[in-house]
Amino acid sequence: MDEPIGCDCSRRSFLKGAGLTLCGFSVASLFPGPWIRFAMGAGPFNNKRLLFIFLRGGNDGLNTVIPGGDPDYNTLNRPTLYIPPTSSIDLNGFARLHPALADLMEIYNAGDLAVVHRVGFPNNSRSHFDDQRTWENGNPANPKSYEGWLYRYIVQNSVDQGVRLPAITVQALPPVIVRGDESFINVANPDSFDYIFPDPKRSKFMNSWRNIYTNLTGLEPFRPALTDTSVKLIDTLDEYRSWDQANWDPKDPNTGFSLFPVSDATNPPDPTGPNGKKFAVTAYPFFKSLKVCALAFLESDPASLNGTRIAGTELNGFDTHNSQGSSSGAQAQLLSWLAYGLRSLHVVLSGAAGDPRAYAAVWQDTVVVTLSEFGRTSKENGSVGTDHAAGSCLFAAGGSVNGGVYNCDPATWPQGVMFGDSGRYVLVRTDYRAIFWEILRDHMGAASAADVVFPGYSSLGLQELNLIG
């Protein structure tokens, strides 16, 4: 190639010209993938959002969504874990909810909550590490893969083009589900997500490039090349800092209590006692994570460059081999956090919260979904808990969700299902990939083929549930 005449090859001129050509070199020859995806993207930001919550440890689906109509759910099989009909919440005359999930009924009664049982995938390994990774990489044939199915959706559908924070996760480590060649933002601690140095070094780093690269355009097609540079760091931290999450405290319109209990000051009172608090202090990190995910969606603006479409977090502790509890106990506590958090998301994303910021409602454009790597044994173990199993349940909530109970009624739960897998486990009826592909295709508007996101999907003949209206 001939050398271009009069090329100013300084770093600044390079970045200024990034949206067009680079000193005579074709942009596609240097950054073909990002540029082509940017140029051939599916179109304007479509406002659809997806928030995932991974229930890590393997949630006991049988005590979460109770198959009360199955005679095998009894005190013989679950002597200390059994939850009677008088203590649980009826859904359809067959399925019942754990009493700790009472906060979900507001969403369920609005028709915006799908309660899905018997979800999993064939021949799971019963290993936390392998099965969590499989749920996140979307490819049971390759459980060792560390590329996430949500990552493939984001990249193949150009969701990462034209926005500063297309995806954000809030948990201890970046999850596999959004992991790939390009890195997206993970906030390990919402209160300390900033430059690691105190002032004056912090201010020096924060302002070092700001004057040089202010108001540059055309950078977004080159996000992979710029992810680790100070340009993107400044953009990201400026955006996050503008949310002021620490001072955002939306309130329940009925009770006046904080929707996100992140401290003693915001923790609602315990309804069973005059001086206690509703949640243990160990719940605060979970609610703080949910709050940041909600803010990412509420601060999203399709007319600018800060539209977050994917957010996610996790709730740990569901590996209940010992002392699981029934109506109360270890699992009940976690489920109460989950239910309160989902209801809080419903209130705040619907624009119904007591909130001086008065964010626009985005619930109709949002789906919130739970995941867990496997369920628990149908029979209680000798340590008044349960062991690793196969199928479990999940929840999907949102304005476009066809609410109701799936796979837990007389037609879809014949007798024997509780021990239908190896004589110990609930028999899986719906592959998790069918659920998530429905959400990506029918809610998120995925334009790519299913096989791109979930390898081999089209050859599996999976049964879909029509979860999205």
DSSP 116-157: EEEEE-TT----HHHHHHHHHHT-TT-TT----HHHHHHHHT
Poorest-confidence range of 160-174, 222-236, 273-287, 299-313?
Answer: 222-236
CB atoms under 10 Å from CB of 279, counted, come to 19
Nearest residue to 160 (alpha-carbon basis) of 136, 137, 133, 181 = 181
Tokens 């879809």 — which residue? Answer: 412
8 has a pLDDT exceeding 50? no
pLDDT at 224: 54
Query: CA-CA distance, 198 to 85, in Å (whole number)?
Result: 56
31 has a pLDDT exceeding 50? no
pLDDT at 223: 54
Question: What is the rounded average pLDDT of the residues 255-280?
Answer: 92
322 is written with which tokens? 């010992």
Q: Is 218 left (phi over 0), alpha (psi -120 to 50) or beta?
A: left
Encode pLDDT of 378-401 as tens digits: 999 999 999 999 999 999 999 999
Nearest residue to 31 (alpha-carbon basis) of 18, 43, 44 = 18
Whether 41 and 60 have beta carbons less than 8 Å apart is answered as: no
> Could you give the angle at the alpha carbon of 61 between the alpha carbons of 59 and 66, nearest 5°?
145
Packing angle of the helix pair 330-349, 284-298 (nearest 10 deg): 20
More confident residue, 221 or 418: 418
Average pLDDT, the chain: 87
204 is written with which tokens? 């020096």
Encode pLDDT of 317-356 as tens digits: 999 999 999 999 999 999 999 999 999 999 999 999 999 9
Question: What is the rounded average pLDDT of the residues 230-234?
Answer: 66
Query: CA-CA distance, 469 to 465, in Å (whole number)?
Result: 11
163 has a pLDDT exceeding 80? no
234 has a pLDDT exceeding 90? no
11 has a pLDDT exceeding 50? no
Encode pLDDT of 142-153 as tens digits: 999 999 999 999
Confidence of residue 412 (pLDDT cuts 50, 70, 90): very high
Rounded percentage of the chain residues whose pLDDT exceeds 90: 75
pLDDT at 238: 84
Extended beta strands in 92-235, E state: 95-97, 113-120, 167-170, 185-186
Query: CA-CA distance, 40 to 23, in Å (whole number)?
Result: 23
Query: CA-CA distance, 453 to 310, in Å (whole number)?
Result: 15
Encode pLDDT of 68-85 as tens digits: 999 999 999 999 999 999
Encode pLDDT of 443-459 as tens digits: 999 998 999 999 999 99
Encode pLDDT of 112-127 as tens digits: 999 999 999 999 999 9
Give the predicted TM-score (pTM) of the model.
0.88
Tokens 């949002």 — which residue? Answer: 366
268 backbone dihedrals φ, ψ, rounded to 5°: -60, 155
Question: What is the rounded average pLDDT of the residues 9-32?
Answer: 32
231 is written with which tokens? 């340009």
43 has a pLDDT exceeding 50? no
Confidence of residue 214 (pLDDT cuts 50, 70, 90): low
229 has a pLDDT exceeding 50? yes
Paired sense of beta strands 185-186 and 366-371, if any: unpaired
21 has a pLDDT exceeding 70? no
59 has a pLDDT exceeding 70? yes
Poorest-confidence range of 162-176, 195-209, 271-285, 363-377?
Answer: 195-209
Q: SS3 for 105? A: helix
Question: What is the rounded average pLDDT of the residues 278-298?
Answer: 97
pLDDT at 197: 76
Confidence of residue 29 (pLDDT cuts 50, 70, 90): very low
**Domain annotation for the chain: domains and CATH numbers:** 42-459 (3.40.720)
Nearest residue to 394 (alpha-carbon basis) of 58, 92, 48 = 58
Question: What is the rounded average pLDDT of the residues 418-439?
Answer: 98
